[in-house]
Amino acid sequence: MSVRVVARIRPLLKNTEIEKDRIIETYGEASDNKTTVRIPNPKVPAELYSFHFNSVYDDATQAELYDREISPQVRHLFKGFDVTIFAYGVTGTGKTYTMRGGKSLADRGVIPRLLSSIYRRARKIEKDTDGETQVEVRMSYYEIYNDKVYDLFEPPEQRTPAGLPIYDNRGKTVVVGLTERPCTSLKEFEQLYDQANVNRSTSATKLNAHSSRSHAILRVKVIQTTGDEVRISTASAIDLAGSEDNRRTDNNKERLVESASINKSLFVLAQCVEAISKKQARIPYRESKMTRILSLGQNNGLTVMILNLAPVRSYHLDTLSSLNFANRTKKIEVNEVENQPFYREQPVKNKAEGPKSSSMCAPSMNRQPLRPKMLSQNTHLQEVTANVVKPARQFSVYADQTKPPARPSTAANTAHVRSSHIPIKSPKRTSSEALPSFGRPTKFSRPNEPAKRPDLGLNKTAIEALIERKVNEALAERADQTTVSSGDPVSDEVQRRLDALEKKVDGQESERAEGLEYLLMAKQHQVRCEDASALKMYRLALPHFPGNEKLAKKVSALEKKIAVKQLERAVSAPREIVAYEPVERPVARRKEKQEDDESYHEVQDVVEHNDDEDEFAYKPRTKIRRPQTTNLAPHPIPSSHLATDGSPRPAIKHSPPPEEDEDSEDELANTLTFQTPRTRQLLDIINTKDVSRIKLLKGVGVKKAEAIVNCLCEPDDDVRVTSLGQLGKLKGVGVKTVQNMRSGLAAL
Ligand SMILES: Nc1ncnc2c1ncn2[C@@H]1O[C@H](COP(=O)(O)OP(=O)(O)OP(=O)(O)O)[C@@H](O)[C@H]1O
């Protein structure tokens, strides 16, 4: 079965969003059964893109979404399936609202409603079985913040900076040292959940006053116990942090680091989804903790993704990218396999207290091999297991007996009975791994049934003697080893040195790793054309690479680039012409431009070969000219070319001006600062987008005029050149041409 993808479009936010800016439309066979989202092409608004999902909710209430999408999953959960529900979307699109919701009854989100359903169903099962089946609910709640895992049941001051380790256990990612709290009622859950949410990392950003800065994972374990049969299934509800465009957030240093980490993990998730959809052999799960924990497409059970979308233009590009991601996600196949019940050994002491009070220590729980999918819907399991006589207990302490006595006939019968009903075979195990003589490896008879125990020829005293002998042997062996190591002064000395060396290297490594982390973030920001954020990250990296000239140069080049951009912006804003303040003239422009070019290539290199960054070696590269396209139409506009409202910005093409113009950039910087009547006249002519008029400008032939008009002619968009700086950056124009055009105007 595939991941179920449902899109939820949040309503317009009062005070900040208006109807006119709505760009998303939804369609379906009926008004309560929508399945399609339509959104215009940002370049060609008349062209609509359609995306089909399992369901689409437009302005839906919390109850509607829950009842139709999540409530049906509770039944599966109690049948033994693991259920994963996760909310995905850009920051401010309503993920936390969907998952957690508000405080009022109507506003409650998926999580409190899910827990309410779980408790209701649990009570019903207990009642229907006259208490024979008991249901226990335990929960753990943690967050992944800056790629580190923190227990949300622990207050932040008790956290270790490194966070909790995770490891893979037979395909399941396990967080080590996580608190698991029993939770007997909805009220108790709400208390725990609210308390834990206080520990979650949230902050105000420009786009969301309560932005989640971490991915939050709630795991609810449902343990159903009938006699000594235990069935465990888990519901995971995940509120992912939203990706952010830092040009829009005005994030400070701390927020930027968080943001880079969020964006990185979401980037890895997108890569994983792409790799799965392309059926690639390598899925890069391990590159982020979030993808390891989410295990999309790797986990068994049922997965529902809630795609949160904002309906307005300011999210246009982000919405498109989320829709594309969701479109790929819906094709991911998940193994719909339920967790099998297992049988636990009931401690004699607790027997009288009944199953509810029995301890549920994780180590005693041995899962059985998974059955193939075709059996996953078997509803007769209870019946079958009721007929099964459990095999005799086997102690490993008997392993060194010459030959274990023949297994009691009941065990053989068990295997026979089982195989006639359910051929238990894990789809993930090879036959050699399966236990040949027992249907279930973890099933033990109760200890107070001595009559069924095999006669293994050892009495209690003999067993104790055997254990004592083994323990003594092991202790003696260890004592021998200790003597050898302490008696060797050379190895002690070597060991001391090694320890010291290790510490030193560790220190350097963590220092360097932190620096590299900043560099990587800087590169990510650069890729997204967030120069200011990139600069901040480079500055943070500086102290980690003392004396690295290349890095220092990079910082100063970026500072200058930003200064020039600010200058251009100031010039293009009409009011600021009046308030013009002289800005320090950019010096050594030629050099700066070279560095810009190089950083352009480096960014590309980092995307392809991240290893380059490890050395931070500044290798001279051959200049690669970007393709000289004359028509923009077939190429998607990169997000950096679009204004925050999704419409194309005035057609500034981020390409280096032609070689001939490099020397004159200082002069252009001069002319950028104000608009003379001649400049205005020139810009007016350019903005006519009329080839016959533009070609008359000095130094402009028909070809150049056509190229200029092509740059400006985005269908249905009024792209205007508002400064000489912008004009100079159009493809094929450059500073000299601009000067020619201006000087020619005097003669017109
Ligand atoms: N369906 C909805 N109905 C009413 N208000 C909503 C809805 N969805 C979201 N909102 C409002 O939109 C704002 C942003 O929502 P929310 O904080 O849930 O976004 P988010 O995607 O979790 O953001 P982040 O990733 O930054 O945490 C909140 O004020 C929330 O109340």
Residue to mutate, 208, 211, 258, 307, ligand 1, most ligand atoms under 8 Å from C-beta: 208
Lowest mean pLDDT among 109-118, 498-507, 551-560: 498-507
Lowest mean pLDDT among 86-90, 121-125, 405-409: 405-409
Judge if the beta carbon of residue 10 lies within 6 A of ligand 1: yes
Question: For residue 246, how far is its CA from the centre of ligand 1 (angstroms)?
Answer: 18
- The answer as to whether 689 is a domain residue is yes
Question: For residue 141, how far is its CA from the centre of ligand 1 (angstroms)?
Answer: 21
pLDDT at 205: 54
Q: CA-CA distance, 132 to 127, in Å (whole number)?
A: 9
- Assess whether 509 and 585 both reside in one domain: yes
55 pLDDT exceeds 50? yes
609 pLDDT exceeds 60? no
The average pLDDT across 278-284 equals 83
Kindly report, residue by residue over 291-348, the tens digit of the pLDDT: 888 877 666 788 899 999 999 999 999 899 899 989 888 888 766 666 776 766 554 4
Q: What percent of the chain shows pLDDT beyond 70?
A: 57
Question: For residue 458, how far is its CA from the centre of ligand 1 (angstroms)?
Answer: 67
Judge if the beta carbon of residue 255 lies within 6 A of ligand 1: no
- Assess whether 166 and 315 both reside in one domain: yes
Judge if the beta carbon of residue 263 lies within 6 A of ligand 1: no
Q: CA-CA distance, 189 to 183, in Å (whole number)?
A: 6
- The answer as to whether 111 is a domain residue is yes
- The answer as to whether 357 is a domain residue is no
Which atom of ligand 1 is nearest the CA belonging to 239?
Answer: 22
Buried b (16+ CB within 10 A) or exposed e, 520-555: bbbbbbbebbbbbbbbbbbbbbbebbeeeeebeebb
72 pLDDT exceeds 70? yes
pLDDT at 26: 93
pLDDT grade, residue 672 (50/70/90)? very low
Which atom of ligand 1 is nearest the CA belonging to 210?
Answer: 17
Question: For residue 102, how far is its CA from the centre of ligand 1 (angstroms)?
Answer: 10
Question: For residue 92, how far is its CA from the centre of ligand 1 (angstroms)?
Answer: 5
Judge if the beta carbon of residue 242 lies within 6 A of ligand 1: yes
Q: CA-CA distance, 236 to 139, in Å (whole number)?
A: 10
**Whose Cα sits closest to atom 9 in ligand 1?**
94
Residue to mutate, 9, 10, 57, ligand 1, most ligand atoms under 8 Å from C-beta: 10
Kindly report, residue by residue over 690-700, the tens digit of the pLDDT: 888 888 888 88
Judge if the beta carbon of residue 538 lies within 6 A of ligand 1: no
- 108 residue type, one letter: R
pLDDT at 30: 77
718 CB contacts (<8 Å, ≥6 apart)? none
74 pLDDT exceeds 90? yes
Question: For residue 629, how far is its CA from the centre of ligand 1 (angstroms)?
Answer: 41
Judge if the beta carbon of residue 145 lies within 6 A of ligand 1: no
DSSP assignment of 546-599, as one string? TT-HHHHHHHHHHHHHHHHHHHHHHHHSHHHHHT----PPPPSHHHHHHHHHHH
473 pLDDT exceeds 50? yes
Judge if the beta carbon of residue 94 lies within 6 A of ligand 1: yes
- The answer as to whether 582 is a domain residue is yes
- Assess whether 587 and 726 both reside in one domain: no
Question: For residue 239, how far is its CA from the centre of ligand 1 (angstroms)?
Answer: 12
Kindly report, residue by residue over 732-742, the tens digit of the pLDDT: 788 888 888 88
Which of 606, 624, 642 is where one domain is finished? 624
Kindly report, residue by residue over 432-456, the tens digit of the pLDDT: 333 333 333 333 333 444 444 444 5
Judge if the beta carbon of residue 95 lies within 6 A of ligand 1: yes
Q: What are phi and psi of 309, to 5 degrees?
A: -130, 145
CB-hemisphere CA count at 13 Å for 694? 22
pLDDT at 168: 82
Which of 592, 624, 656 is where one domain is finished? 624
Question: For residue 93, how far is its CA from the centre of ligand 1 (angstroms)?
Answer: 5
pLDDT at 616: 32
Which atom of ligand 1 is nearest the CA belonging to 205?
Answer: 26
- Assess whether 605 and 650 both reside in one domain: no
225 CB contacts (<8 Å, ≥6 apart)? 133, 134, 135, 136, 231, 355, 356, 358
User: Which CATH number characterizes residue 112's domain?
Assistant: 3.40.850.10
Report the predicted TM-score, pTM, of the whole model to 2 decimal places: 0.52
The average pLDDT across 53-63 equals 94
Lowest mean pLDDT among 77-86, 415-424, 467-476: 415-424
- Assess whether 11 and 112 both reside in one domain: yes
**Whose Cα sits closest to atom 31 in ligand 1?**
97
Judge if the beta carbon of residue 414 lies within 6 A of ligand 1: no
> For the chain, what is the domain count?
3
Question: For residue 295, how far is its CA from the centre of ligand 1 (angstroms)?
Answer: 25
Lowest mean pLDDT among 45-59, 66-80, 668-682: 668-682
- Assess whether 616 and 678 both reside in one domain: no
- Assess whether 609 and 658 both reside in one domain: no
Judge if the beta carbon of residue 308 lies within 6 A of ligand 1: yes
**Whose Cα sits closest to atom 10 in ligand 1?**
94
Which atom of ligand 1 is nearest the CA belonging to 59?
Answer: 1
Burial (CB count <10 Å: 0-12, 13-18, 19+), residue 642 = middle
Kindly report, residue by residue over 255-268, the tens digit of the pLDDT: 677 777 777 888 88
Residue to mutate, 8, 58, 61, 96, ligand 1, most ligand atoms under 8 Å from C-beta: 96
Judge if the beta carbon of residue 89 lies within 6 A of ligand 1: yes
Judge if the beta carbon of residue 211 lies within 6 A of ligand 1: yes
Residue ranges of the binding site: 89-96
- Assess whether 619 and 639 both reside in one domain: no
Which atom of ligand 1 is nearest the CA belonging to 102?
Answer: 31
pLDDT grade, residue 518 (50/70/90)? confident
Question: Which residue blocks in 392-530 are alpha helix, DSSP H?
Answer: 409-421, 460-486, 489-527
Residue ranges of the binding site for ATP: 89-96
53 pLDDT exceeds 50? yes
- The answer as to whether 524 is a domain residue is yes
Q: What are phi and psi of 54, to 5 degrees?
A: -60, -40
CB 519 within 8 A of CB 541: yes
| Helix pair 253-277, 489-527: axis angle to 10 deg | 90
Residues composing the chain: 748
The average pLDDT across 121-140 equals 95
- The answer as to whether 509 is a domain residue is yes
Lowest mean pLDDT among 59-68, 231-240, 450-459: 450-459
64 pLDDT exceeds 90? yes
Question: For residue 95, how far is its CA from the centre of ligand 1 (angstroms)?
Answer: 6
Q: CA-CA distance, 338 to 368, in Å (whole number)?
A: 11
Question: For residue 189, how far is its CA from the centre of ligand 1 (angstroms)?
Answer: 23
- The answer as to whether 174 is a domain residue is yes
| pLDDT averaged over every residue in the chain | 69
- Assess whether 638 and 528 both reside in one domain: no
pLDDT at 543: 80
- Assess whether 617 and 658 both reside in one domain: no
Which atom of ligand 1 is nearest the CA belonging to 10?
Answer: 1
E strands present in 269-318: 302-309
Judge if the beta carbon of residue 241 lies within 6 A of ligand 1: yes
Judge if the beta carbon of residue 127 lies within 6 A of ligand 1: no
Judge if the beta carbon of residue 62 lies within 6 A of ligand 1: no
3-state secondary structure of 534: helix
Question: For residue 144, how far is its CA from the centre of ligand 1 (angstroms)?
Answer: 20
User: Which residue range forms the structural domain that includes residue 652?
Assistant: 633-748
Question: For residue 209, how far is its CA from the centre of ligand 1 (angstroms)?
Answer: 10
Which of 560, 592, 624 is where one domain is finished? 624
pLDDT at 151: 92
DSSP assignment of 214-239, as one string? SEEEEEEEEEEEETTEEEEEEEEEEE
Kindly report, residue by residue over 620-660, the tens digit of the pLDDT: 333 333 333 333 333 333 333 334 444 433 333 333 323 33
- The answer as to whether 264 is a domain residue is yes
Judge if the beta carbon of residue 133 lies within 6 A of ligand 1: no
Question: For residue 309, how far is its CA from the centre of ligand 1 (angstroms)?
Answer: 10
pLDDT at 95: 92
- Higher pLDDT pick, 174 / 612: 174
Which atom of ligand 1 is nearest the CA belonging to 62?
Answer: 1
pLDDT grade, residue 510 (50/70/90)? low
**Whose Cα sits closest to atom 14 in ligand 1?**
92
Question: For residue 99, how far is its CA from the centre of ligand 1 (angstroms)?
Answer: 10
DSSP single-letter state for residue 281 = S
DSSP single-letter state for residue 122 = H
- 642 residue type, one letter: L
pLDDT at 412: 34
- Assess whether 568 and 710 both reside in one domain: no
pLDDT at 738: 86
Judge if the beta carbon of residue 518 lies within 6 A of ligand 1: no
CB-hemisphere CA count at 13 Å for 497? 6
Which atom of ligand 1 is nearest the CA belonging to 8?
Answer: 1
The average pLDDT across 404-430 equals 36
- Of 107, 63, 24, the C-alpha closest to 308 is 24
Question: For residue 620, how far is its CA from the centre of ligand 1 (angstroms)?
Answer: 47
Judge if the beta carbon of residue 314 lies within 6 A of ligand 1: no
Lowest mean pLDDT among 98-102, 250-254, 576-580: 576-580
- Assess whether 620 and 666 both reside in one domain: no
Q: CA-CA distance, 86 to 622, in Å (whole number)?
A: 45
Judge if the beta carbon of residue 92 lies within 6 A of ligand 1: yes
Kindly report, residue by residue over 580-604, the tens digit of the pLDDT: 233 333 333 334 333 333 333 333 3
